[in-house]
Amino acid sequence: MSTWLRTRTAWWVLLAIGLLPLVSLVWRTLTDQLGANPAETLIRATGDWTLRGLCLTLAITPLRVLLGWPELLRFRRLLGLLTFGYASLHLLGYAGFDMGFVWADIAHDIPKRPFVLVGAVAFALLLPLAATSWNGAIRRMGAKRWQALHRSVYAVAVLAILHFWWMRAGKQNFGEVWLYGTILAGLLGWRAQRRLSRLSIF
C-alpha cells in the first residue's frame, strides 16, 4: 500500500473521489432530483462535505503515525483544498440562494445570526490556509511561521462544529452534530496528548 500511495495515480484517484460529491450535486441539479427545496439541499450538502473534508484532513497525521505510512502526508494539501472548495460552495450557496447576492443584506445578516457569524469567521480563517497551500509559501514565510498559521485549522474545526450546532438548534436535531463533534474532538485530542507527551519529556 505504501508503495502505491507514492504514485501519481493515487493522487489522481483521491482527487476523483473528492470531486464525486460535486459531480453528484451537479447531476441532481440538472435532473431535478434535489427535492422540494433545492437551495437548502445544496447548501446543506456542501456544508456536510466541508465537515467531512475537515475530518479527513485532520485524520491524515494520526493515520500516518498509527499506520506508519509517511506517504499519506502528500494528500493532506489536496484534502485541504477540496475542503476549502466545498466551504466556498457552501458560502456561495448562502450568499446566492438565501441572500440573492445583495451584499448589504449579507453584511447586515452576518452579525445578526450567530451561526452565520461563526461560519463566516471559520471561512475567513480558511482563506489564508488555502492561499498559502503551495511550496513557495513555505519558503517565503519560513517553515515555523507557515506551520503556526496552518494550526488555525484547529480553530476552524471548532468553529465549524459550533456553526453546525447553532444551525441545528432550531429543530433540536443534534445527532450529526455529535457525530462530527466526537470525531473532531478525538482528532484534536490525539494531537493535544502527543504535544503534552513531548513537553513532559523535558
| pTM score, whole prediction | 0.94
Distance CA 138, CA 147 (A): 9
Q: Using 50, 70 and 90 to split pLDDT, how confident is the model at 200?
A: low
On average, the pLDDT of the chain sits at 93
- The predicted-structure confidence for 105-160, as pLDDT tens digits, reads as follows 999 999 999 999 999 999 999 999 999 998 899 899 999 999 999 999 999 999 99
* CB contact burial 183-201 (16+ within 10 A = b; e otherwise): bbeebeebeeeeeeeeeee
- ∠ CA 57-59-63 to the nearest 5 degrees? 130
